[in-house]
Structure 1
């Protein structure tokens, strides 16, 4: 057998395929084939040495260097590879890869080396989706898959209905795979088998399509997001939450006309205009027919049986003598795919004739043709038979795996089964070989899972024998331990790597919380689980789910005697923080945060004292209490300097926000630019990524201090960084800060794009605190494009009301100033005067020094329109003075331009040009922006000053 040293990869052609190893790409007639990276590595190793036997150990050393993996990893990836080659080309897989029993594999097809120059695939990237990579071939469903694909073109809801184990999910996934190019906004699988709480159906849909669960009305936010999109939703395993699924489907279809839904269920959803397709069993030779091996292999049930038997026994081939016996087995199993697979894996023990005898004994209670509900009995009988062939320890181990909501790893398996590692690994391999546990490719690892029908059967057995409660208890304790470890690792691992490792535990966290909520003796464990899950919810921006679960845990505190402890402190901190984004900056959030701070100070918990201080500071800064906010952030910084300097950037950036609002712009810019040059840690500790937060605030400070081009470059760069983090609140921050920068610069196209992203983001994630900002800048853009119509003025007013409703009062003088200017332009001078006076009052009350120069300038325009030019001149001079005091060069330019315009036809005409020129000369960039371009044009029109 061949050993496999690494060789220089080239490109190879075989059949209709081209393999391009250096691009990690397999092409079928020029189009990329979806296949996992490990399977592609296996194919490369075989294709490089066509005709040679490559040993299993050599393949594993090549594909998993320096990693100890089970042979099952090789087997699963080989199955995925064979499916890709067989399904893609229509050629039997053994025409490409032959198994050499007991030795390894051989690539048997002719291979043409294309040299170093690999062909380029012209295919465009496929639309977004979350479909798994299939590891098994599909038999006998081609016509069904094609007809279902056609039905989705005209029908908006198509349900595949049939008993468990018939193959509904397999068919649905194949239809979804074929539909990728038809749905440019994505094809999304929503696995509902993992849910135990029907109320979480909207959350599951939202999470699958990328809508962060931040809104209290998750389904409403999801419907808003889906409007105008051509998207396919695959709702899999609906039967146990069918009423909730039906309600969600009706609402989505009513509000999002471009959406199609493909559902799998044991019964129809009973939704208006639902098209129901009942899936039948795989066909077998008719009873009484005389068939040889060739005849039998034309039937898909026989094909499936033979392939699964061959996976168990490499040398198995269907003989003429076995053909009628296998046909009888498949008929007795009603053509149910899962039952056939379970039976075929026992060929090595019983042989074909012995297998039929076993099934005859098991199914003697079933007579006649079985259809409808009796098919459930067929699968139940097959599963019971399969269980009966396991040892008691193996059966107990399998049953314990049913407690997992989805996939699980060996660590979880040994924890819930209370089994030592060697025994657990051996039983996983054995049960996978018998098709009782399925294996999936999840990145570079193999994930185990139970089919929904097997899971249900196992849970019923545990329930009846009284083992379920103990297994669920071990599962909840295991998930708690895993997530408590994750909390510790959060400080030590890159954020994306951390999320990839622990994101898969979301469903199990939900299941564990649901279990512990039903047992009062588990209240403390439920609180621990909630605390352990907080970083996970925060990392994936599941803010509303975090708020709901933490609220429930808080209600348990008195009953557990944990009030006043650090557990209450931690829960109250996160409850206050998450509520600010989902419900607005309400006083109840501040009360909750202050309670957490009180406990932190009493117990001497420095870390949580800092966490409380920064959240309280954020609340104060954005409710207009800027001085108080700065003092709170200062207290945070003092403690961080002494105890944990690694978190100082959080204090620095929020201190920068306070300095921005208070008008200390020179200090703010120096602070933030210094901070930006530091190597800030990736990841989210205090609700937002620090790199994104620094850049967000800095972009506005740069604009205000006279660097508009730099500000816009910063905004664009930080948006890219935020998109890479995939953290919703971080991206929302930079979009919120970038909108005004583009708007102030007069770059309305860029502003329009950014507002569009913000609108979509707010809608998708339901971030209540930012909704009025999106409304405001959409109206402001229309004001710039269309003028001050009554509708635009009203929309500005309504957005300001929304700011007040959410208690988001920071920058309120600016918003009022824009409204006043729109009212002035519309001719409503009395309303404009009242609004601008209100803006000035709020600016003084909140000490918003950053915006005072602009509010004074806008008041001057109103005074001039009312016939008070001297008062207008005084306000403009005051604006320029205030702007210089706070280092707001960009506001000073606006005031100077207005003042030069006012002077140009009066006795001070000679002073207008030097006055404006002096301000323009302070700029070193931004001459294409609206304000500077206007100032330069005005300079050209102004008379030169008189000669001395």
Structure 2
């Protein structure tokens, strides 16, 4: 090792050419030596030959036959020998565990995919295959990024090492292009988890975290989703590219600082015109493209060796310009590139006009305009000087129709379709044909970007171009007319696609509509603004509300619904519009702020208006949320009333979705009040509704009601003595909810499934689902569900013998749930607390908890827990220092009566076990056996569950 190091120091130039580094490894091919962190790695000769061959052709697929011919030139070997050696090579490299080095392409061969540094540089040479990437939103990479290969490689390396890199530079210099290229370069290194967030669409720093949450596919349940984003990313390995940060610099600084500190495996690449200036940030200043020198003897060959000239020539030819590309034109091109300071965007804009004006005239116009701008704005911020001058110039080079259309297109936020552009930009002065042709022209001039999204082409003004166009001289009245058409178009768009939203449950499915939603936000902001239109504002907010609910964008739904209600004039109050807005406000308040009185007032007001001026479906849309509201606050008797009202309305509607919802709500209420047979019938009817209407109505509740019905059915089956079926249905419910990628629905499913597993004694499954619940609730800021998850953890601790900490934690969780208020699981956790206190010998406290729980049930109506509470009271009478068998037996008999009336065989079995044990201890074993045996024999499944095993053991002892 010492001799090799001396050779490398003595002959640095020669040896550098032989060095190839990747990860912790250095390959010296001529020496047939592989080093790992400076020490020789033990690698066989054939495996080393394979490594050298793959590295020599990095990022290319090397066929299996090619490899075998190179490694075994004079020997005929089977393909198995190659597979064996590749496996050995991967083992030594730690491929797949420490990093990704060699990719297998089935049926084709192998490819070395790790970033390489050759000849002592730090230039990752990887260009990864994009066949298997998992990312869905990373913009397409340009076929060629002129002069940026070294930047891309250097930034990719820095992102790996430093974790947080900001690409810094003036507007139009190419920051986004380079960031996208880096993202594609690192896709394999991050196993496809590269996410691109464009903050250019976000105008308010308060919504920066929302943009990241939406890209991640998170359901935002809180007004500020920062904590959700940070919690979600804490355990992830992701490259997060945040583009266009300068206008939200303070918000981005706060957000990225928290992500960087809390998520050690998240790497951040940002683009900005100024440094974010937080700890951990490494700034990469993106230089302008190198330009040809001011040299009288400049030749075309020399000029074309400079990236700025390469870019100009390529874009000019692509736009239809005819160039001679001789030395004279090379001098003009060089002058243009220097005048534009090598700014990529400015060069593209200039090149796009050569076809119309010719090379010399383009250069002359450019000289005249930029001279004025540079002279007048030297004291302006550097980020505005060159870009502002370039955009001024390029704007004036446009024809008047192009300018007019560009100004009108600036109203769009992010991507838009040709249909939208025609609807918004067209009026009496500019017809459809002119708009269509002008957009095509603007695309060729790089003023408008175009790319396919799904099956349709989408268009977008570059952020800087849009900002410039918005500031261009335009009559205020004209802009307001355009903005009004924009708002009306997206109000109609919401009507058209609104029925699809409840089914768009994944980020990939939502992607084509994200830009539309961004435009809806933009339209809402204008409509409610000083020069907006209150009539449009209110109708747009009303139309947007169900879509925002379906997407679980509850904070936004609350914001716009509340604002619209405040804007309503007296003529609109008391009508359909207020009814819809009050309903949306109530639902969003219920999930973001718990069982607040404001939510109750809004929902009751909406129901009053629905009865006054709405139809049956309108009333049903409000009764569903009111049912959920009263479930959450623990008013179970009232929920049964709402469920019955829903059933009557659904009957009148003859609508499949309405009838399914009514069955679901009825089943949940009947289950909780202890009418188990009726509950099962309703729940099964909700899951398998008879198709009555061809196009069932879409009912927006904020969660999937059929999944909730399935979760309650699992509990119902367990109580009815079918524990195995209950476990199967519980798992199916969670699996279905997880597939929806809808966090709120998943949390609800996990709660009911966990209760089933705890009742069955399957503590491992209960713990697994509890951990999942806590993780989801934490990531999405669902405070009540997080408290439920922690309460389950405390209950599990008690069941496993840690009564001290479990009881203490459970008491804290109950206080938190009471304050929410979220009382849906209160009785369940009080039962668990009774067991914990009893285990600690705190029998008086335990008895008080039982009495309080029984009083609460008598008031609220969740009688399904009454048999278990009476059983626990009987056990407490036996545990006291002065046991009272008579009172204990009385409680057990009462519990049996309740169980039999409800059809709750599970509670009946538990109570029968305790009463039989009491009878046996009192000298009546035959009576004990006669009591327990027939109850035990009613069970046709679940013999491996905790309660049935206990019953079998007791019967054996009695025999």
**What TM-score do you get using the length of structure 2 for normalisation?**
0.81
Mapped pair 1:229 → 2:236:
yes
Q: CA separation in 2, counterparts of 1:804 and 1:430?
A: 63
Show the counterpart of 1:71: none
Shift of residue 554, structure 1, vs aligned partner = 1.8
Aligned equivalents of 2:357, 2:866: Cα separation in 1: 88
Cross-structure match for 1:797: 811
Partner of 1:698: 713
Structure 2 CA distance, aligned partners of 1:814 and 1:222? 31
Tell me, yes or no, if structure 1 residue 241 matches structure 2 residue 248: yes
1:153-173 deviations in Å (ceiling 9; x for gaps) = 343432211111101111122
Q: Give the corresponding residue for 1:265.
A: 272
SS at match of 1:188: strand
- Indicate whether 1:533 and 2:537 are aligned: no
* Equivalent position SS for 1:217: coil
> Could you tell me how far apart the structure 1 residues matched to 2:739 and 2:698 are?
11
2:578 corresponds in structure 1 to 568
For residues 317 and 634 of structure 1, what CA distance do their matches in structure 2 show?
A: 82
CA spacing shift, 1:270–1:608, aligned 2, 3 Å: same
In structure 2, distance between residues paired with 1:325 and 1:541 = 56
Shift of 1:521: 6.0
Q: 2:770 maps to which residue?
A: 755
Q: Is 1:736 the equivalent of 2:748? A: no
Are residues 1:402 and 2:410 paired? Answer: yes
Does 1:724 find its partner at 2:735? no
Within the candidate set 614, 625, 631, 2:624 is matched to 614
2:15 counterpart residue number: none
Cα 1:325–1:710 shift into 2, 3 Å: same
Higher alpha-carbon deviation: 767-776 or 653-662: 767-776
Deviations 1:694-733 (A, max 9, x none): 2122111112112222222222222232233333332222
Compared CA separation, residues 322 and 388, structure 1 to 2 (3 A): same
Q: 1:360 to 1:545 in 2, by over 3 A?
A: same
User: Partners in 2 of 1:30 and 1:208 — Cα distance?
Assistant: 36
Q: 2:568 matched to 1:587? A: no
For structure 1, the residue ranges without an aligned partner over 5 or more in a row are 1-15, 18-26, 32-87, 91-120
Structure 2 residue aligned with 1:29? 61
SS in 2 for 1:851: helix
Q: 1:317 to 1:457 in 2, by over 3 A?
A: same
Cα distance change of structure 1 residues 398 and 868 upon mapping to structure 2, 3 Å threshold: same
Show CA shifts across 1:345-379 (max 9, x none).
Answer: 23333444443334333334477999995574333
Which residue of 790, 799, 821 corresponds with 1:775?
Answer: 790
Moved more, 724-733 or 333-342: 724-733
Per-residue deviation, 1:766? 2.2
Instruction: Tell me, yes or no, if structure 1 residue 175 matches structure 2 residue 182.
Output: yes
**Counterpart contact for 2:322–2:355, Cα < 8 Å:** no
> Which residue of structure 2 aligns with residue 53 of structure 1?
none
Aligned to 1:649: 660
Shift of 1:126: 4.7
Supply the distance in 2 between the matched residues of 1:185 and 1:767 (Cα, whole angstroms).
29
One of 633, 637, 640 as aligned partner of 1:630: 640
Q: Distance in 2 between matches of 1:453 and 1:516?
A: 23
Task: Say whether 1:853 aligns with 2:853.
Answer: no
| 1:582–1:766 CA contact under 8 A, matched in 2 | no
Counterparts of 1:293-308 in structure 2, within 5 Å, are 293-308=300-315
**Is 1:423–2:434 an aligned residue pair?**
yes
| Deviations 1:475-531 (CA, angstroms, capped at 9, x unpaired) | 22222232233346779x888899566443221122122222222762222111111
- Structure 1 CA distance for aligned equivalents of residues 606 and 413 of structure 2: 33
Q: 1:127–1:830: structure 2 CA closer, same or farther, 3 Å change rule?
A: farther
Deviates more, 1:824-833 or 1:778-787: 778-787
Q: Return the alpha-carbon distance in structure 2 between the equivalents of residues 904 and 314 of structure 1.
A: 102
Change (3 A) 1:465 1:648: closer
Whether the aligned pair in 1 keeps the contact of 2:660 and 2:689 (CA below 8 Å) is: no
- 1:522 corresponds in structure 2 to 533
- Mapped pair 1:578 → 2:597: no
Instruction: Check 1:276–1:489 CA distance in 2 against 1; reply closer, same or farther (3 A cut).
Output: closer
Take 1:122 and 1:432, find their aligned partners in 2: how far apart are those partners?
Answer: 29
Question: What's the CA shift for 1:135?
Answer: 4.5
* 1:682/1:689 contact within 8 Å kept: no
Contact 2:227 2:779 in 1 (8 A): no
Mapped pair 1:509 → 2:541: no
More moved, 478-487 vs 664-673: 478-487
| Deviations 1:615-651, CA, capped at 9 Å, x for gaps | 2222223323222221222112112211343311111
Out of 388, 402, 409, which is 1:380 matched to? 388
1:336/1:804 Cα in 2 relative to 1: closer, same or farther (>3 Å)? same
Structure 1 residues 498, 221: CA separation in 2 closer, same or farther (over 3 Å shift)? closer
Aligned partner of 1:98 in structure 2 is none
Normalised TM-score (structure 1)? 0.82
Q: How does 1:5-404 map to 2 (within 5 A)?
A: 29=61, 126=133, 130-183=137-190, 186-288=193-295, 290-313=297-320, 318-319=325-326, 322-365=329-372, 373=381, 376-404=384-412
Distance in 1 of aligned mates of 2:854 and 2:629? 23
**Structure 1 residue 848, shift from structure 2 partner:** 2.0
From the superposition, tell whether residues 30 and 697 of structure 1 become closer, same or farther in structure 2 (CA, over 3 Å).
farther
Alpha-carbon deviation of 1:205? 2.2
Residue 406 (structure 1) shift = 0.5
Find the counterpart in structure 1 of residue 73 from structure 2: none
Give the structure 2 partner of residue 58 of structure 1: none
Q: 1:689 is matched with which residue: 683, 692, 704?
A: 704
Distance 1:509 1:601 in 2: 30
Instruction: Tell me how far 1:663 sits from its aligned partner.
Output: 0.5
Shift of residue 532, structure 1, vs aligned partner: 1.2
Secondary structure of the residue aligned to 1:793 is helix
Tell me what 1:61 maps to: none
Measured in 2, the distance between the counterparts of 1:519 and 1:920 equals 73
Counterparts of 1:312 and 1:332, CA distance in 2: 21
Query: Given that residues 661 and 686 in structure 2 are in contact (C-alpha distance below 8 angstroms), is that contact kept between their aligned partners in structure 1?
Result: no
Distance 1:922 1:814 in 2: 25
Cα separation, partners in 2 of 1:459 and 1:815, compared to 1, 3 Å: same
Distance, in Å, in 1 between the alignment partners of 2:774 and 2:222 is 14
Q: Structure 1 pair 366/770, CA: closer, same or farther in 2 (3 Å)?
A: closer
Distance of aligned partners of 1:161 and 1:682 in 2 relative to their CA distance in 1, 3 Å threshold: farther
Kept after mapping to 2: 8 A contact 1:814/1:839:
no
Match status 1:432 vs 2:450: no
Distance 1:89 1:384 in 2: 44
Structure 2 match to 1:57: none
TM-aligned CA distance change 1:661 to 1:207, over 3 Å: same
State the alpha-carbon separation in 1 of the partners of residues 62 and 780 from structure 2. Answer: 38
On the 8 A contact 2:233/2:263 being kept in 1, the answer is: yes
Task: Check the 8 A contact 1:813/1:855 in 2, yes or no.
Answer: no
* Native 8 Å contact 2:172 2:344 kept in 1: yes
Shift of 1:447: 0.8
Name the CA distance, whole Å, in 1 between partners of 2:473 and 2:915: 83
Q: 1:830: which partner in 2?
A: 844
Take 1:686 and 1:448, find their aligned partners in 2: how far apart are those partners? Answer: 34
Change (3 A) 1:152 1:370: farther
Q: Within 2, Cα distance between the matches of 1:145 and 1:682?
A: 51
Mapped to 2, the partners of 1:380 and 1:466 lie a distance apart of 25
